[in-house]
């Protein structure tokens, strides 16, 4: 009698949830995605453990769910792998839409921690890129010419100390330059 009141759900066997990460389970549910649709996995890559989810869903979820999934996995530092080309293609599109939002959030968090009470300058349509580079230099206390613009890239010179390079990089990301079609590049210390 109890089973008959459940409708179609009673006729389909329940899929087990194989994930152990409770934040992923909660996040997937918040996105409207059944956690049983994915398997949590990890592997060693370049000496570091990398976590990812494998989905067995065909076709992929609608775009809003894919964007929610991409936002969740970016923040949890997880990837999607071995889920089939249609699903991974839809996920890649969602990831490409969410990644600039994620990096801007990280940059603004860094600025709040390292420059409390100061709001980074915002790049607006119509602003001259070279003039805006000078605004960022002033904001970070960097010397003239510390940030140059070539084509659609704001380049940070390797002539500043690391704290100013970090400030220029995070202020550039926080200024929403990507939304205007620009990128920010800092010297690599690897």
pLDDT at 171: 94
pLDDT of residue 21: 81
Residue 92 tokens read as 């890649």
pTM: 0.75
- Tell me how far CA of residue 18 lies from CA of 37, 55, 73, 127, in angstroms: 9, 12, 17, 51
Question: What is the rounded CA–CA span in Å between residue 39 and residue 46?
Answer: 22
Do the beta carbons of residue 6 and residue 55 sit within 8 Å?
no
Per-residue pLDDT at 189 exceeds 70: no
pLDDT confidence of 190, banded at 50, 70, 90? very low
- Tell me the angle at which helices 63-76 and 22-30 cross, rounded to the nearest 10 degrees: 160
Confidence of residue 68 (pLDDT cuts 50, 70, 90): very high
97-149: pLDDT as tens digits: 999 899 999 999 999 999 998 888 999 888 899 999 999 999 999 999 999 99
93 secondary structure, DSSP code:
H
């Amino acid at each position: 009698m109890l089973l008959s009141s459940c409708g179609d759900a009673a006729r389909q066997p329940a899929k087990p949830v194989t994930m152990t990460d409770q934040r992923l389970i909660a996040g997937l549910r918040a996105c409207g995605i059944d956690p049983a649709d994915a398997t949590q996995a990890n592997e060693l890559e370049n000496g570091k453990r990398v976590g990812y989810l494998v989905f067995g869903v065909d076709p992929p979820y609608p775009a809003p769910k894919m964007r929610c999934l991409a936002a969740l996995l970016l923040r949890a530092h997880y990837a999607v792998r071995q889920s089939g080309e249609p699903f991974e293609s839809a996920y890649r599109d969602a990831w490409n839409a969410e990644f600039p939002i994620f990096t801007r959030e990280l940059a603004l968090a860094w600025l709040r921690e390292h420059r409390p009470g100061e709001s980074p300058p915002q790049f607006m349509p119509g602003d001259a890129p070279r003039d805006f580079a000078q605004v960022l230099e002033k904001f970070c206390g960097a010397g003239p010419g510390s940030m140059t613009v070539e084509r659609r890239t704001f380049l940070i010179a390797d002539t500043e100390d690391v704290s100013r390079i970090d400030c220029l990089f995070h202020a550039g990301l926080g200024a929403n330059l990507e939304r205007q079609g620009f990128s920010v590049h800092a010297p690599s210390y690897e």
